Amino acid sequence: MEVILIQDVENLGYKDDLVTVKNGYGRNYLIPQKLAVIASESAKKVRDENLKQKSYKEEKQREEANALAEKLKSTTLKIGAKVGESGKIFGSVNSIQIAEAIKAETGTEIDRKKVTMPSDSIKAVGEYKATVQLFKDVTTEITFEVVEE
């Protein structure tokens, strides 16, 4: 029996995959649990159209991510922090502040989990680099400077 998966199913396949399963598994588990639908001709056409639209959207998002990566490479972000007399920061600079600085600079919101720093937190004034994942396969290295407020 051929079915089209509606959701990812462990050890079977991912969403929109066309898979062959035993009749009982398909009829008694996958279809009642809303994990799959029977692969009729009309369902296959709908799946093909969905895949085409999904690939078009992903290509558009990839282009936007590449444009943002080029913009971020050429800019240096400035992050203000309160500094003591010895040049050490009160607290630390982490990925949350970097994500906020990117949003302030470009207007694009980036999840803080997609920002990777060389160390967990920065506790001194200076210039540093971080890696930002903008899309599945688009990453860029940004330069940011921690300055005294």
DSSP assignments along 47-92, one per residue: HHHHHHHHHHHHHHHHHHHHHHHHHHHH-EEEEEE-B-TTSEEEEE
Domain boundaries, the chain: 2-62, 64-148
Which amino acid, one-letter code, is at 138?
V
pLDDT of the chain along its 149 residues, tens only? 999 999 999 999 999 999 999 999 999 999 999 999 999 999 999 999 999 999 999 999 999 999 988 888 888 888 888 888 877 888 888 888 889 988 888 888 888 898 998 777 788 888 899 999 988 888 899 988 888 87
The superfamily (CATH) of domain 64-148 is: Ribosomal protein L9, C-terminal domain (3.10.430.100)
Of 81, 145, 146, 144, the residue nearest 110 (C-alpha): 144
30: closest CA among 52, 51, 65, 2?
Answer: 2
**What does the DSSP 8-state code read for residue 40?**
-
106 neighbors 99 (Cβ within 8 angstroms): no
- CATH fold of the domain at 2-62: Ribosomal Protein L9; domain 1 (3.40.5)
pTM for the predicted model, two decimal places: 0.66
